[in-house]
Amino acid sequence: MEKLTNKEEEIMHILWKLEKAFVKDVLAEIKDDKPHYNTLSTIIRNLEDKGYVAYNAYGKTHQYYPIVKKEDYRKRFMNMAIDNYFNNSYKNVVSFFAKEEKISVEDLKEIIKLIEKEA
């Protein structure tokens, strides 16, 4: 799975949400910094080249749909982030979020319960 640019990832989130979409549908979903239609079309074709989307042709118009599941991409992205930023340590990940106060004691207790249940 090839790495996506930020804009490609934004487009993939829209395609995962819509499931199937024409370029105009994707463009309508973009809130800020809307690209030109042709630019967006090129980005989507790049996603096709990278193996993330496929399409159904209706004459000269294409309806695009994701062929990489959001969950598969999330797993790859999270594994890369944990490897690159936390020395492949989940303990470091949890410590980071605890220090940043992004995770509560209650959340940590719930995570521990989940781990103990799985063990």
Q: Is the domain 6-66 a CATH 1.10.10.10 member?
A: yes
Domain ranges of the chain: 6-66, 70-118
Condensed to tens digits (0 to 9), the pLDDT of residues 22-66 reads 999 999 999 888 999 999 999 999 999 999 999 999 999 999 999
Q: What mean pLDDT value characterizes the chain?
A: 92
pLDDT at 69: 96
Q: Helical H runs in 1-119?
A: 6-18, 23-29, 37-49, 70-86, 90-99, 105-118
Strand partners, 10: none
pTM summary value: 0.79
pLDDT at 10 (0 to 100): 95
Contact 67, 53 (CB under 8 A): yes
Distance CA(61)–CA(55), nearest Å, equals 10
Tell me, what's the pLDDT at 102?
83
